[in-house]
């Protein structure tokens, strides 16, 4: 079976930037040539991609798939199909399932369910500690053999500095990145939104920037001590970005991600008590939003991830301080990230770097558009305008703050292993 994608603007940062034809054969890239240079066989399926942008498959390194244990919010199948609809060919799923993914059996279950989904790929992250309880190291070696790509206790911080040091030393020997949920729970003090004038006006307990940045600074020091690969999740504050910028200048092996809501919204955008705007870390100030954009521009922020966190309406349709933290993002991330390009903050090539290439490097994957590689590919329609309607989402949940937002750009088609796993209607 052959597929010929004709006339797309192909962007593979540092390698390809131009109008090309792409031939896919037996699930792999076979040829990438100047237009009309490839001579297809008679049964080749031809796709006219004029006006579309072809990029290495997007990878989201921060997703909650909820299965096993909370299938009413999301299953591995529904999450991976939502990912494909958002243009992602792979996601890294967090271990805070029930049971927690802290052993090889759960890891194998997730991978097997992912295979059955026939959608995006799944790269499981295993827990750092048993039950993500922060008390004893999980079976990291066994989980690596079963297929994890990273470890994290995401959703919870590793409060014990000694345990985090041991985790880093252990993971360094196996070349596994540690994904850090940076939060000082004492400083967060059971807050429900950003500490600032809006929280005061609403009478809600605030979460200070320092609850994130003090842990970022601790784990930068730990990365310097151990030499382990440390990746900071969902960065939201100016202080965190500055600390990571300084660490990179010193050559410490750290990377970081932010999510679209942190460069798109601030706490002042939260409608009174609308729990679809409640996430952890919370939406911050305009100063922080501008710092996130600057971090994306100067390369301090390596990746854009979603922190896709599905919740049932019953967990959101309650008082703001009682509602669950988290929003979904797989099906809105690409158009929101394209706003960065439209406003001139980053180039299209830089966007592909942050949503495809850098995530691949973190996961230990080669997703270059080159002959012989698995044909994981995203075709982007940069001009399609639409209004975000959660009722059209493939995800089982609807908790998004972007309902009703006018956006531009979407995934037109998503290919995994040369199979078309999503096509926009």
Helix (H, G, I), strand (E, B) or coil at 233: coil
- C-alpha 77: how far from its chain's center? 17
Given 21, 102, 184, 307, the catalytic residue: 307
Identify the helix (H) or strand (E) that includes residue 105.
Answer: helix 104-117
Q: Beta strands of 137-270 (E only): which ranges?
A: 150-151, 178-180, 193-194, 206-207, 230-232, 254-258
Distance between the two ends of the chain, CA-based, in angstroms? 23
Q: 130: which 2 tokens? A: 């048993």
Which residues, in sequence order, are CB contacts of 183 under 8 Å at separation 6+?
A: 156, 157, 211, 212, 215, 280, 281
Helix (H, G, I), strand (E, B) or coil at 240: helix
* 307 assigned to active site: yes
How far is 263 from 286, CA to CA, in rounded Å?
9
Which is nearest to 91 in space by CA: 129, 130, 65?
Answer: 65
Quote the Cα angle for 222-224-229, to 5°: 80
How far is 408 from 337, CA to CA, in rounded Å?
10
Q: Which of left, alpha, beta for 344 (phi over 0: left; psi -120 to 50: alpha)?
A: left
**What is the set of active-site residues?**
307
């Amino acid at each position: 079976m052959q597929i010929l994608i004709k006339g797309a603007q192909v962007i593979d940062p540092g390698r390809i930037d131009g109008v090309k034809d792409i031939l896919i054969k037996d699930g792999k890239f076979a040829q990438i040539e100047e237009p009309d240079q490839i001579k297809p066989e008679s049964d080749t399926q031809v796709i006219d991609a004029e006006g579309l942008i072809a990029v290495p498959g997007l990878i989201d390194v921060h997703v909650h798939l909820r299965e096993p244990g909370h299938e009413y919010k999301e299953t591995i199948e529904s999450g991976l199909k939502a990912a494909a609809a958002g243009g992602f060919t792979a996601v890294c799923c967090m271990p805070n399932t029930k049971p927690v993914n802290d052993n090889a059996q759960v890891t194998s279950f997730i991978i097997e369910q992912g295979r059955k989904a026939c959608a995006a790929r799944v790269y499981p992250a295993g827990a750092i500690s048993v039950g993500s309880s922060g008390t004893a190291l999980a079976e990291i070696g066994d989980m690596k053999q079963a297929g994890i790509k990273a470890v994290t206790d995401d959703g919870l911080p590793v409060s014990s500095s000694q345990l985090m040091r041991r985790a880093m030393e252990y993971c360094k020997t196996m070349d596994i990145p540690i994904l850090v949920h940076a939060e000082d729970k004492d400083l967060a003090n059971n807050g429900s939104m950003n500490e600032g004038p809006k929280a005061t006006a609403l009478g809600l307990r605030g979460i200070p920037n320092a609850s994130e940045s003090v842990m970022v600074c601790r784990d930068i020091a730990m990365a310097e001590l151990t030499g382990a690969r440390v990746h900071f999740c969902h960065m939201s504050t100016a202080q965190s970005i500055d600390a990571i910028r300084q660490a990179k200048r010193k050559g410490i092996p750290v990377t970081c991600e932010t999510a679209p809501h942190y460069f798109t919204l601030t706490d002042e955008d939260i409608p009174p008590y609308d729990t679809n705007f409640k996430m952890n870390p919370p939406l911050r100030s305009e100063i922080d939003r501008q710092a996130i954009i600057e971090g994306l521009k100067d390369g301090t922020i390596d990746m854009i991830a979603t922190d896709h966190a599905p919740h049932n309406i019953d967990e959101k349709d309650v008082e703001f301080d009682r509602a669950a933290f988290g929003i979904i993002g797989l099906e809105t991330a690409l158009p929101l990230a394209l706003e960065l390009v439209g406003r001139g903050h980053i180039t299209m090539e830089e966007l592909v770097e942050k949503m495809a290439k850098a995530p691949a490097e973190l996961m230990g994957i080669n997703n270059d558009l080159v002959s012989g590689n698995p044909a994981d590919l995203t075709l982007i329609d940069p001009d399609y305008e639409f209004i975000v309607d959660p009722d059209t989402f493939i995800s089982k949940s609807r908790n998004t703050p972007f309902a009703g937002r006018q956006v531009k750009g979407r995934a037109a088609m998503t290919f995994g292993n040369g199979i078309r796993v999503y096509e926009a209607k």
